[in-house]
Amino acid sequence: MNDNYDDPKNFKDLSTTQKKILLNWIDENLEKIKSFNTKHTSYGLKHLFEKSTNGFYIDNGTFKGAMLEANYKIQNTNEKNWVFNISNKSACFKNSK
């Protein structure tokens, strides 16, 4: 990984297995909606992934790259912590309470 912990290109540095685990978690735990949800950012979501059953440490950029790979929309790519089009009803929020 490069020294920029917020670079979405870091996703490509994961192993094939790690990419599958992360993308599978996104698929199973996040639900797309049309609008942006400012209550949750890439930084908070990466921590939810890390605490999950098969989770492992990733930096903020790696999570951003995974969300791009999963075709989520980003509100503002100039922000350090990205906001996505995810529902508050997503499974990861139900499980984290």
Q: How confident is the model over 52-91, as pLDDT tens digits?
A: 999 999 999 999 999 999 999 999 999 999 999 999 999 9
Position 1 in a domain: no
Asked if 61 and 13 touch (Cβ cutoff 8 Å), the reply is no
How much is the pLDDT for 49?
98
Average pLDDT over residues 33-39: 97
Q: pLDDT-derived band of residue 96, with 50, 70 and 90 as boundaries?
A: low
Please name the residue ranges forming H helices in 6-90: 16-29, 42-51, 60-69
Domain range spanning residue 68? 8-95
- Please list, in sequence order, all residues whose beta carbon lies within 8 angstroms of the beta carbon of residue 70, skipping any fewer than 6 positions away: 23, 26, 27, 30
Position 3 in a domain: no
Position 53 in a domain: yes
pLDDT, greater one: 1 or 74: 74
How much is the pLDDT for 95?
62
Q: 15-20: list long-range contacts, CB under 8 Å, 24+ apart.
A: 18/56, 19/66, 19/69
